Amino acid sequence: MQLLIQSGDLGPTWFHVSLRALVLLSKSSTRMKSQHIANTLGAEPTYVRKIMAGLSKAGIVSAYGGREGGYRLAKPAGAIRVGEVYRALGKGQVTPFWNVPSTGSEQFLSLLISKAEEQFQSVLDAYTIEDIVREGAHFSS
């Protein structure tokens, strides 16, 4: 955690917006509208709605339409693993090793990146949204 604080890097925009939105939802006793979430996070409302749609599809948030609609967590914050959020939304562009001109190292690089990704996700799976709320309180005090 200290390394991240020193570097100031919050990671990909979609990831930190989704995590911060889930933190907001975990602290709210009522449904939150995308406009309110976007304003609080300093993000575009359409971007927030896209993220929330993905989280809703994954069963992480519940979406309610209409005038009284909004979003809320679909399960307790302690049951939402950070890795689950990453996997629900993190469908980044990948390059299969067989799609590039060969230098002879591509298959090994693929294995190396795969192992790093497994460890990365393992770390994310060790934390929940509730952990972020709790640990974040220590830093803001």
53: CATH:
1.10.10.10
pLDDT digits (tens, 9 = 90+) for 78-106: 999 999 999 999 876 677 777 888 888 88
Checking if the pLDDT of 15 tops 80, the result is yes
Look at the chain and report how many structural domains it folds into.
Answer: 1
CB 34 within 8 A of CB 72: no
- What pLDDT shows up at residue 1? 41
pLDDT digits (tens, 9 = 90+) for 36-83: 999 999 999 999 999 999 999 999 999 999 888 999 999 999 999 999
Token pair for residue 46?
A: 């359409």
Checking if the pLDDT of 8 tops 80, the result is no
Nearest to 20 by CA among 3, 4, 38: 38
Q: Is 62 helix (H, G, I), strand (E, B) or coil?
A: strand
- What pLDDT shows up at residue 17? 95
Report the run of H or E that residue 124 belongs to, with start and end.
Answer: helix 106-125
Checking if the pLDDT of 10 tops 80, the result is no
- What pLDDT shows up at residue 11? 79
Which structural domain, as residue segments, surrounds residue 36? 2-140
Nearest to 80 by CA among 129, 36, 31: 129
CB 70 within 8 A of CB 59: no
Inter-CA distances, 68 with 36, 57, 59, 64, 65, Å: 13, 20, 20, 8, 7
Checking if the pLDDT of 26 tops 80, the result is yes
